[in-house]
Chain A
């Protein structure tokens, strides 16, 4: 299937939603649900049909002049991640907002289209444009509904940080265009060898700083806890589960294509900042009293864990990182859904007020425990498997300190998840004030917990593990990327 469909389908839905709202108001909800299903299926089909590498160049130009869209195993894996995460978040927002806020659904589908665009594009400037579409939609989704002051402030902060990141990205793109006269990633990866090392370090610095800001890595993570904690439940789940991963995808793609053969120092920087994020994120999460802020800081730490896998600069490390992206998505989306539901029932996000919830909603609390145990890295669950692979990858390359940071982070994260669970299980004197039925959230949480358990088996099934490790191979192999894009 033509990869462009995965970008066009969500974008066109995004622009059709207002028209449906004007002309067929009664059908808005149903059409949004159906079109989300279609977009998800289209993305999945594009990912699977392009598993061995498919590229198209728009408008019949050659890759030197036109914009290439390209699917390979790495982008296919992230397309599948987006195709799972977006419908889950949509179902949750349908439950909490109802069908009426069509403006929200416009933003939702625009960001979906832009996310697919970032994943598929083979052109550096086009990637920047998609980054900005997705960022602007994300700023607005964070502050939705615009009544909450905290969310408006968080969104403003996200906007300032996001735009600074985008400017660094743009500067890096401008430098690489100046140095080579090309924007196509395939051709750029070939020409990077001829760029002088000083220029290369400037390009690398700008691109990596931009992507670090966008993905919320440690020294530039200040926007992330605010934005993820003050957004609505479904948006927080989407931000933590999918949108942050897209910046990680861009980081994997650009660092391996442009700097892997010529400048390994970039990976040392990624490794260092990943380690810093793991340590800082876990320590900050430990101090939080607000449950959603705690989960948001835990996202900072998990992004750091993923970046350690990327910074190992090996095929194995990238496979482990991608695997951890999936595990983090299932577990963290589940955690945000449960935490959001329980916080609404309690009418407070303070952990000390969260008592008596085991008696109130036992299944939600049990699911929370499952996700928390998985993300902390306790053996039979998926989070343990990917952390184990990341540890192996990191020690194999001789990086002991990052591996130790992951292990120490496991201890700290068990401590703070236990703090939350202790509050959930402790009896309460006051009854829980609200009890709204949540059939959709309940099913989503059940689905995510099944996924969370099933994903743990992936490295043991021979077929699945070979698929997993071929994802890393396709990320590292710049030559096959060039062959696909340039049509050899």
Chain B
């Protein structure tokens, strides 16, 4: 079953990358970035799973899943949020100047 979660996470990552590459709208580019990040985070969370183990709570009964990979996404979420916030701030500035968010109409972002 856990393989399905890994597969889903990687599929989400690839969807994000596809969005980033194909869409010409700056907002959709940032959405793609966000989706990619979601895929990686899901992957990390899923990697802590151990079959037939309980939650890592005291008192411990039997085995528990590995709680360490669940702490990495917390840091990564903060980093991703700051990246997305900065990207959106830049989009606002670009939109103010050009009046468009279409990559093809913005001079410097071609190619």
- Using a CB–CB cutoff of 8 Å, the interface residues on chain A facing chain B are 125, 128-129, 132, 136, 139-140, 143, 146, 149-150, 152-157, 159-160, 163-164, 166-167, 170-171, 174, 177-178, 181, 222, 226, 230
Residue B79 CB within 8 A of the other chain: yes
Per-position contact with A for B74-111: 1 when CB-CB < 8 Å, else 0?
A: 01100110110011001101100100000000111101
In the complex, chain A residues whose CB is within 8 Å of the CB of B80: 163
In the complex, chain B residues whose CB is within 8 Å of the CB of A181: 66
Question: A139 vs B82: C-alpha distance in the bound complex, in angstroms?
Answer: 12
- Tell me whether A136 and B82 are in contact (CB under 8 A): yes
Q: Is the interface of B mostly helix, strand, loop or mixed?
A: helix
- Tell me whether A167 and B37 are in contact (CB under 8 A): yes
Interface size on B, residues (CB 8 A): 33
Per-position contact with A for B39-79: 1 when CB-CB < 8 Å, else 0?
A: 01001100100000000000000000010010010011001
In the complex, chain B residues whose CB is within 8 Å of the CB of A166: 79, 83
Question: A146 vs B89: C-alpha distance in the bound complex, in angstroms?
Answer: 11
- Tell me whether A149 and B97 are in contact (CB under 8 A): yes
Q: In angstroms, how far is the closest chain A Cβ from the Cβ of B100?
A: 12
Q: Is the interface of A mostly helix, strand, loop or mixed?
A: helix
In the complex, chain A residues whose CB is within 8 Å of the CB of B69: 174, 177
- Tell me whether A152 and B94 are in contact (CB under 8 A): yes
Q: Which residue of B72, B76, B86, B106 contacts A139 across the interface (Cβ within 8 Å)?
A: B86
- Using a CB–CB cutoff of 8 Å, the interface residues on chain B facing chain A are 13, 17, 20, 26, 29, 33, 36-37, 40, 43-44, 47, 66, 69, 72, 75-76, 79-80, 82-83, 86-87, 90-91, 93-94, 97, 106-109, 111
Q: Inter-chain contact count A-B, CB under 8 Å?
A: 83
* A129 and chain B: residue at smallest CB distance: B75
- Tell me whether A174 and B94 are in contact (CB under 8 A): no
Question: A178 vs B45: C-alpha distance in the bound complex, in angstroms?
Answer: 10
- Tell me whether A152 and B76 are in contact (CB under 8 A): no
In the complex, chain B residues whose CB is within 8 Å of the CB of A159: 83, 86-87, 90
Question: A164 vs B40: C-alpha distance in the bound complex, in angstroms?
Answer: 11
- Tell me whether A132 and B13 are in contact (CB under 8 A): no
In the complex, chain A residues whose CB is within 8 Å of the CB of B47: 174, 177-178
In the complex, chain B residues whose CB is within 8 Å of the CB of A160: 20, 29, 33, 87
Given contacts A164-B20, A167-B36, A167-B40, contact A156 B90 (CB under 8 A): yes
Q: In angstroms, how far is the closest chain B Cβ from the Cβ of A137?
A: 11
Q: In angstroms, how far is the closest chain A Cβ from the Cβ of B61?
A: 22
- Tell me whether A153 and B94 are in contact (CB under 8 A): yes
Question: A163 vs B91: C-alpha distance in the bound complex, in angstroms?
Answer: 16
* A155 and chain B: residue at smallest CB distance: B90
Which 7 A-B residue pairs are closest in the complex by CB-CB distance? A153-B108, A156-B90, A178-B47, A132-B79, A174-B44, A167-B36, A163-B83
